[in-house]
Chains A and B, each alone.
Chain A
Amino acid sequence: MLILHCPYCGVKGEETEFAPGGEAHLARHGPGSTDDDFKSYLFSRKNPRGVHFERWRHASGCGKWFHAARATDTLEVYATYKAQTLAPPKQVLDIIAKKRPGWNI
């Protein structure tokens, strides 16, 4: 059972306080988008063995959505960061690059 740090309320809590929300940084494709873009937005998800950017909500806590950069193989959590961003912040990428040399987004 994971421990996650909520970047909004500062709580370092166990997984049972949080709810997972799937892959992070999906771009919404609305009316007018191509079939391929829309299909990808709705149905295509990454399933890496390794670094994954994912969404979590502090459901039983402050209620805020945040993002986690996490390794799906070792379960290491490199960082959690606020959801109001379209891509992982540079500091987060730097942490991952340091821990996993050779890794690319």
Chain B
Amino acid sequence: MSTRIAQHGRLIDRNTPVKFTFNGQSLSGFHGDTLASALLASDQMLMGRSFKYHRPRGVVASGAEEPNALMGLGTGARFEPNQRATTTELFGGLQARSQNHWPSLEHDIGAVNTYLSRFLPAGFYYKMFMYPRAFWKHVYEPFIRMSAGLGQAPTDKDADTYEHFYAFADVLVIGGGIAGLQSAYSAARSGAKVLLLEQTAHWGGRAPVDGGHVDDKPVDTFVDELVSELESMPNVTMLTRCMGAGIYDHGYATGYQRLTDHTPGTDGPRHRLWRIRATRIITATGAIERPLSFAGNDVPGVMLASAMRDYLVNHGVTIGQRIVVVTNNDDAYRTAICLHKVGVNVLRILDARPAGGGALMQEARDIGIRIDPGRGIAKVTGGKRVKKVHICAQDGSGGALEELACDAVAMSGGWSPVVHLWSHCGGKLTWDRDLAHFRPDATRPPTGSDGSGFTSVAGCANGHMGLGDILRDAISAGKAAAKEAGFKPKKQATPQSVAADEAPLEPVWLMPRNARYSLRMKTWLDFQNDVKVSDVQLAAREGYESVEHTKRYTTLGMATDQGKLSNINGLATLANALNADIPTVGTTTFRPPYTPISMGSIGGEARDEIFQPIRRTPMHEWHEANNADFEPVGHWRRPYAFPRHGETTHDAVTREVNNTRQHLGLLDASSLGKLLVKGPDAGKFLDMLYTNMMSSLKPGRCRYGLMCSENGFLIDDGVVARIDDDTFLCHTTTGGADRIHGLMEEWLQTEWWDWQVYVANLTEQYAQIGVVGPNARKVLEKLGGMDVSADALSFMGWADGVIGGFNARVYRISFSGELSFEIAVAASQGRAFWDALMAAGQEFGVMPYGTEALHIMRAEKGFIMIGDESDGTVIPQDLGLHWAISKKKDDYLGKRAHARMAMTDTDRWQLVGLETTDGSTLPDGAYATAQGVNANGQRMTQGRVTSTYHSPTLNKGIAMGLVHHGPDRMGEVLEFPGIDGKVTHATIVNPVFFDPEGEKQNV
């Protein structure tokens, strides 16, 4: 059994017990425990089940690399699946649930898959679910969907907040182990601004667990002193619980800080994503121990030797009473010695190397541990817990020499540097034959904006495994980074440490070397995804030679741990199966983040009301208070209609149209773009931007204009007012304001930079209100001030003046066909002016109207709308707007394009009005069908609907559309099938449905 002992436990506070629950059962641990160590202390070795076979799984590691011990944490609005027990700090009230089992962790129906595993090899799904095709939709897909996915998705809205923080450093050090601390210190002594990140809550990494001396001090004392020294330096920022998540182009890096995961519900954000720019980055990310590949290596109780040592030293927890250690290197001897010293019975050290190890072996032997060199494990037996190991010769095929009853196995297959962060942005790796691992190739680092390498590596992550080597490497990395960041490193004595004389590791990729098939198919590579040695070998036999393909075929390394334990063993297995060198086979791509980070942290503050900016006009609050149905127009929210009590939106729109046509309507037009264009060349500039002539416009007058892209396509329209000789105010569509402003700047800056023109975007300076309807003039006259009579202010004129005490600019323009004034006042007075108009308009029947009424009224008048009649493929000529295209001008944007063959083609669809034969409303976007079918067997088409409405004014369905030779086919009836199959018939008519003479607006 696993249990807490009286010795060790450097990270726990035995005076502070902490209560938590696991699968509903109350348990207790200590402050400083991880969830994994607390569960182990309560003899809860079984922590989950594997994904495919639902095999019982215990914790195998002690850190971020853990593949098995995944939990659902918390409840309700703070539930989160797939959290590693090994990196979850224990807190009072923590609620954890194991995953991937039914009905319970102890008894699981899906575990039957393990007996079928012979029939579920790599590629099973691809092969099995191919035929018959008809089975796919109703049999295979539901089955696969049911078994897919790990952990449960939360159902409640997340209760927490998240944020970003933009940080800048000369040197960023990722990893707060001894190498990270030392390199941070060496860099910081130069005066460089250093940011140091550590993913756990503690500094020092593995060094205090592994022990040793630096400058005759115990290594943990050395670490403590180094930490205090760093803390006292003003140019150093140190963050714990902050994982270096990714390294990206040009020295960008992300840090994932978990602020309140261990104290849920406290004030402030739960996670903070550090968005870091560093001149130089040092990855001191340590190394991860590799499992050994023997049959039954996934049975709960089989654990990495280093993890077993961590739980003992850090948390005072022993994993078993009778332990077998199996290794191919000297480091596992430390675990054996450590366990032996606290009274655990270390039954045997099986060392796969025929000659065994170095000084540590001698030390183990001296304290009485039996060591069997040249031996390995043929298989481990036991269901939910290790019961027995079958010992064999490493050089054989698995014939058992001896069976040994035990309750835990510590394994070590050597160490792999954590090269992930180095590799994220293109750092290359080199294969180290002696240590049998990939490590960063310092000659091929990721390169930054100046072309030089911006990342270096220090310590274990760089392939240095001894304390003295690590410190030397860290100092040189720290000094080099500071120097490259423009600082002068200071001289520094190298701390001295004497390393134990270690014998070289011997690579072991399969145990025993020639294990028979029945063993290989019980030998796990990827614990979470149930990928075994036999699966990778099968993939190789089936022709998957690329490691990337094998990964996807077998799912090796595709689990939430992204193969931190399995990658190297997997690709070594593949290399052996292909008779290739490991470096030739290469690794799969390392991608950020290093471990999964919360979606919340990625989104940061962008959620709820500020998920995206919402632009509000000065009258927005009035609209809200008056029950506006808003519609998004770009980031603006514009009232679609103002439904009154008991009204549907459609009722409201109808009322608003009728009221505006008969009495008086107010439109909030503030979001329309207003661009001021000024300078001696302003007229010439606008002549280039608009298809029509603007330079001939007289001050005091307005002109409707069209803008095209260089492609000739219509991109925007609006009314231009000439303010004075060298000043114009250009109105754009709501959605076009920023785009057209950008376009003006672009042409002025990059093509016509010698033209004397300046542009300013005044869109938001003004609240603009459309005062529309037969009573429009009356309400303005009642408010009093300037003369708005037809004589003083004629159609398409503008004037400055005062209305009701407000300084105003009044444009006599109409988009509805009614008598209409668009009035601009300072935005800060917009609400007051709106209120004044509403009050004064009472006796004239004033009502506000929304964008839908606006659209209907313009369609009744046959006015086009950018985005309805235009869609990026339509030229003004298609819309019958030839009158707005100047023939006098030598040039304008789009003129050359308008001369292209495709643009002058008389077969282009042309704008017409469409009137349904039965008065119904045409479906939006419907196509007019023609005779015959095209090459794809689809009906031929001869036109389409661009705008369609029920007209309250005419009480029938009206529409605009583009039709082949449309204007020549007046009176013809076209067929428009809807998506429901129903065919609507519509007659081609003039697009101006209402008041074609313009009598209503010219009063």
Partner-B contacts on A (CB < 8 A): 1-3, 14, 21, 28-33, 35, 38, 41-42, 55, 57, 59, 63-65, 71, 74-77, 83-84, 99
Q: Is B267 an interface residue (CB 8 A)?
A: no
Tell me the nearest residue of chain A to B426, going by C-beta: A74
Tell me the nearest residue of chain B to A99, going by C-beta: B451
Report chain B residues within 8 Å CB of A99: 451
CB pair B746–A65 under 8 Å, yes or no, is yes
Tell me the nearest residue of chain B to A13, going by C-beta: B277
Known: A28-B751, A33-B896. A75 touches B250 (CB 8 A): yes
Known: A2-B250, A65-B746. A84 touches B899 (CB 8 A): no
Report chain B residues within 8 Å CB of A1: 248-250, 252
Tell me the nearest residue of chain B to A37, going by C-beta: B896
How far apart sit A55 and B750, CA to CA, in the bound complex (Å)? 10
Known: A1-B249, A2-B249, A2-B250. A30 touches B451 (CB 8 A): no
Report chain A residues within 8 Å CB of B448: 76
Report chain B residues within 8 Å CB of A35: 900
Tell me the nearest residue of chain A to B738, going by C-beta: A59
Say how far B217's CB is from chain A's closest CB, in angstroms.
Answer: 42
How far apart sit A80 and B86, CA to CA, in the bound complex (Å)? 48
Residue-by-residue, is B248-288 near A (CB-CB < 8 Å gives 1, otherwise 0)? 11111000000000000000000000000100000000000
> 24 A-B residue contacts at CB 8 Å?
A1-B249, A2-B249, A2-B250, A3-B250, A3-B251, A3-B449, A21-B746, A28-B751, A29-B896, A31-B896, A33-B896, A38-B896, A38-B900, A41-B710, A55-B750, A64-B749, A65-B746, A65-B749, A65-B750, A71-B451, A74-B451, A76-B447, A76-B449, A99-B451
CB pair A76–B450 under 8 Å, yes or no, is yes
Contact-residue size bin, chain B (C-beta under 8 Å from the other chain): 20 to 34
Q: Is B897 an interface residue (CB 8 A)?
A: yes
Residue from the list A14, A29, A33, A59 in contact with B252, Cβ < 8 A? A14
- In the complex, besides A3-B251, A76-B451, 4 extra interface pairs with C-beta distance below 8 angstroms are A31-B891, A31-B895, A32-B896, A57-B742
Known: A3-B449, A28-B751. A42 touches B897 (CB 8 A): yes
Residue from the list B451, B746, B751, B900 in contact with A57, Cβ < 8 A? B746
Q: Is B372 an interface residue (CB 8 A)?
A: no
CB pair A63–B745 under 8 Å, yes or no, is yes
How far apart sit A3 and B751, CA to CA, in the bound complex (Å)? 26
Say how far B979's CB is from chain A's closest CB, in angstroms.
Answer: 35
Q: Is B124 an interface residue (CB 8 A)?
A: no
How far apart sit A49 and B798, CA to CA, in the bound complex (Å)? 55
Tell me the nearest residue of chain B to A77, going by C-beta: B449
Among B252, B277, B449, B753, the most chain A Cβ lie within 10 Å of the Cβ of B449
Say how far B265's CB is from chain A's closest CB, in angstroms.
Answer: 33
432-479 of chain B: CB within 8 A of chain A: 447-451
Report chain B residues within 8 Å CB of A31: 890-891, 895-896, 899
How far apart sit A71 and B250, CA to CA, in the bound complex (Å)? 13
Report chain B residues within 8 Å CB of A77: 449-450
CB pair A84–B711 under 8 Å, yes or no, is no
How far apart sit A31 and B899, CA to CA, in the bound complex (Å)? 8
Report chain B residues within 8 Å CB of A74: 447, 451
- Count of A-B contacts with CB under 8 A? 67
Report chain B residues within 8 Å CB of A29: 896
Report chain A residues within 8 Å CB of B749: 64-65, 83-84
Report chain A residues within 8 Å CB of B899: 31
How far apart sit A40 and B914, CA to CA, in the bound complex (Å)? 39
Report chain B residues within 8 Å CB of A65: 745-746, 749-750
CB pair A30–B249 under 8 Å, yes or no, is no
Report chain A residues within 8 Å CB of B250: 1-3, 75
Say how far A40's CB is from chain B's closest CB, in angstroms.
Answer: 12
Say how far B661's CB is from chain A's closest CB, in angstroms.
Answer: 43
Among B249, B891, B897, the most chain A Cβ lie within 10 Å of the Cβ of B249
Report chain A residues within 8 Å CB of B449: 2-3, 75-77
Say how far A90's CB is from chain B's closest CB, in angstroms.
Answer: 20
CB pair A83–B252 under 8 Å, yes or no, is no
Say how far B112's CB is from chain A's closest CB, in angstroms.
Answer: 49
Say how far A91's CB is from chain B's closest CB, in angstroms.
Answer: 16
How far apart sit A99 and B452, CA to CA, in the bound complex (Å)? 11
How far apart sit A76 and B750, CA to CA, in the bound complex (Å)? 24
Report chain A residues within 8 Å CB of B252: 1, 3, 14
Known: A42-B711, A63-B745, A75-B249. A3 touches B277 (CB 8 A): yes
Name the 3 nearest CB pairs between A and B, nearest first. Answer: A76-B451, A3-B250, A84-B753
Report chain B residues within 8 Å CB of A57: 742, 746
Report chain A residues within 8 Å CB of B248: 1
Residue-by-residue, is B891-914 near A (CB-CB < 8 Å gives 1, otherwise 0)? 100011101100000000000000
Tell me the nearest residue of chain B to A27, going by C-beta: B751
Tell me the nearest residue of chain A to B252, going by C-beta: A1
Residue-by-residue, is B15-30 near A (CB-CB < 8 Å gives 1, otherwise 0)? 0000000000000000
Residue from the list B447, B746, B750, B891 in contact with A30, Cβ < 8 A? B891
Tell me the nearest residue of chain B to A43, going by C-beta: B711
Report chain B residues within 8 Å CB of A76: 447-451
Report chain A residues within 8 Å CB of B711: 42
Report chain B residues within 8 Å CB of A71: 451
Say how far A89's CB is from chain B's closest CB, in angstroms.
Answer: 15
Residue from the list B450, B742, B750 in contact with A83, Cβ < 8 A? B750
How far apart sit A84 and B449, CA to CA, in the bound complex (Å)? 24
Report chain A residues within 8 Å CB of B251: 3
Say how far B875's CB is from chain A's closest CB, in angstroms.
Answer: 14
Tell me the nearest residue of chain A to B749, going by C-beta: A65
Say how far A32's CB is from chain B's closest CB, in angstroms.
Answer: 8
Say how far A75's CB is from chain B's closest CB, in angstroms.
Answer: 5
CB pair A42–B447 under 8 Å, yes or no, is no
How far apart sit A65 and B710, CA to CA, in the bound complex (Å)? 19
Say how far B205's CB is from chain A's closest CB, in angstroms.
Answer: 29
Report chain B residues within 8 Å CB of A59: 742
216-256 of chain B: CB within 8 A of chain A: 248-252
Tell me the nearest residue of chain A to B451, going by C-beta: A76
743-775 of chain B: CB within 8 A of chain A: 745-746, 749-751, 753
How far apart sit A103 and B941, CA to CA, in the bound complex (Å)? 52
198-215 of chain B: CB within 8 A of chain A: none
Report chain A residues within 8 Å CB of B897: 38, 42
Say how far A12's CB is from chain B's closest CB, in angstroms.
Answer: 9
Report chain A residues within 8 Å CB of B249: 1-2, 75
How far apart sit A68 and B448, CA to CA, in the bound complex (Å)? 15
Say how far A6's CB is from chain B's closest CB, in angstroms.
Answer: 13
Say how far A36's CB is from chain B's closest CB, in angstroms.
Answer: 12
Say how far A9's CB is from chain B's closest CB, in angstroms.
Answer: 13
How far apart sit A32 and B890, CA to CA, in the bound complex (Å)? 9
Report chain A residues within 8 Å CB of B891: 30-31
Say how far B75's CB is from chain A's closest CB, in angstroms.
Answer: 37
Say how far B745's CB is from chain A's closest CB, in angstroms.
Answer: 6
Say how far A26's CB is from chain B's closest CB, in angstroms.
Answer: 9
Say how far B774's CB is from chain A's closest CB, in angstroms.
Answer: 44
How far apart sit A1 and B277, CA to CA, in the bound complex (Å)? 10
Tell me the nearest residue of chain B to A84, going by C-beta: B753
How far apart sit A99 and B447, CA to CA, in the bound complex (Å)? 14
Report chain A residues within 8 Å CB of B447: 74-76
CB pair A30–B895 under 8 Å, yes or no, is yes
How far apart sit A64 and B749, CA to CA, in the bound complex (Å)? 7
How far apart sit A11 and B250, CA to CA, in the bound complex (Å)? 16
Report chain A residues within 8 Å CB of B710: 28, 41-42
How far apart sit A51 and B710, CA to CA, in the bound complex (Å)? 27
Say how far A37's CB is from chain B's closest CB, in angstroms.
Answer: 10
Report chain B residues within 8 Å CB of A28: 710, 751
How far apart sit A77 and B449, CA to CA, in the bound complex (Å)? 5
Report chain A residues within 8 Å CB of B900: 35, 38
Tell me the nearest residue of chain B to A70, going by C-beta: B449
Say how far A43's CB is from chain B's closest CB, in angstroms.
Answer: 9
Tell me the nearest residue of chain B to A21, going by C-beta: B746
How far apart sit A74 and B452, CA to CA, in the bound complex (Å)? 10
How far apart sit A11 and B751, CA to CA, in the bound complex (Å)? 24
Tell me the nearest residue of chain B to A63, going by C-beta: B745
